[in-house]
Amino acid sequence: MTDIHANLDRVRERVAKAAERAGRRPSDVLLVGVSKTVEVARIRQAIEAGVPALGENRVQEAKEKVAEIGRPVPWHLVGHLQTNKARDAVELFDVIHSLDRLDLAKELDKRARARGRAIDTLVEVNVAGEASKGGVGPDGLGELLDAVAALSSVKVRGLMAIPPEAKEPDDSRVWFRALRKLAERYGFTELSMGMSGDFEVAIEEGATLVRVGTAIFGPRPPRREPGPEER
């Protein structure tokens, strides 16, 4: 059985060492434990062990978990968000990492205003222009940011990226660096980048949020593609 407490301690140590290598404080980096496909009992173990935030990929899965677990820590949406799930997303999540288009921003704004709140977001950037991934292209980022700035209830706190799959963690460095430069250009300090395989490199390149799943929770069960109603 996976020892989640020990895993979390190891990940924290790795976060701290990576931050120190970059001349940063470990407290500058928020560790988001990505709990997609993880059963509630193991998520509770991670909360008891001190995971500071939880990340989910799909709205429906998160809805069931939040109903059972509650909100002992913030919940982050780290996966693609369909526009028709915006209302639930505003109700469930403290931060949405995957804002990537204006129609989604407008729907989030509408739903957030209806709840009398503002929703914190990160704009997902498709740094490598991969057709298989969401995210706004670097060339379209400025236009999207300008449009979202006119929305009163959507707050863009920074940028997020998922780089191309790499054989070695250091192969992702060029993409993390590219996202950091974009953030600097547009005046952002929050950067969501880095997952279980490369989060240390991401921290060295400026990540302030890292999305770590299997390094905490262990291997995931075989993937099953959800139906549209489950996303």
Would you state the pLDDT for residue 230?
44
- Our separate counts of H helices and E strands in the chain read 9, 8
Q: State percent of the chain over pLDDT 70.
A: 95
pTM over 0.85: yes
Alpha carbons 231 and 225: distance in angstroms, whole number? 9
Give the residues across from 192 on adjacent strands. 160, 209
Tens of pLDDT, residue by residue over 19-36, are: 999 999 999 999 999 999
The CATH number of the domain holding residue 27 is 3.20.20.10
* 138 assigned to some structural domain: yes
Nearest to 193 by CA among 121, 108, 120, 97: 97
Range of the domain at 76: 4-217
* 63 assigned to some structural domain: yes
* In the block, residue with structure tokens 């404080």: 25
* 157 assigned to some structural domain: yes
Reading the block at residue 200, the tokens are: 């240390």
* 105 assigned to some structural domain: yes
Length reported for the chain: 231
* 223 assigned to some structural domain: no
Asked whether residue 88 carries a pLDDT value surpassing 80, the answer given is yes
Nearest to 187 by CA among 95, 137, 123: 123
Instruction: Say how far residue 105 (Cα) sits from the centre of its chain.
Output: 17
* 231 assigned to some structural domain: no
Beta strands 75-77; 95-99: pairing state? parallel
Cα–Cα distances in Å, from 29 out to 12, 20, 146, 167, 228?
10, 11, 27, 25, 34
Helix (H) or strand (E) run with residue 30 in it: strand 30-34
Nearest to 65 by CA among 80, 83, 77, 81: 77
Tell me how many domains the chain contains. 1
Residue 229 pLDDT grade (very low, low, confident, very high; cuts 50, 70, 90): very low
Tens of pLDDT, residue by residue over 118-171, are: 999 999 999 999 999 999 999 999 999 999 999 999 999 999 999 999 899 999
Asked whether residue 222 carries a pLDDT value surpassing 70, the answer given is no
Would you state the pLDDT for residue 223?
56
Rg over alpha carbons for the chain, rounded to the nearest Å, is 17
Instruction: Outline where DSSP puts E strands in 69-188.
Output: 75-77, 95-99, 119-124, 154-160
* 222 assigned to some structural domain: no
Give the residues across from 211 on adjacent strands. 32
Cα–Cα distances in Å, from 226 out to 4, 11, 37, 109, 230?
26, 30, 12, 27, 6
Asked whether residue 102 carries a pLDDT value surpassing 50, the answer given is yes
Would you state the pLDDT for residue 227?
52
* 133 assigned to some structural domain: yes
Q: State percent of the chain over pLDDT 90.
A: 93
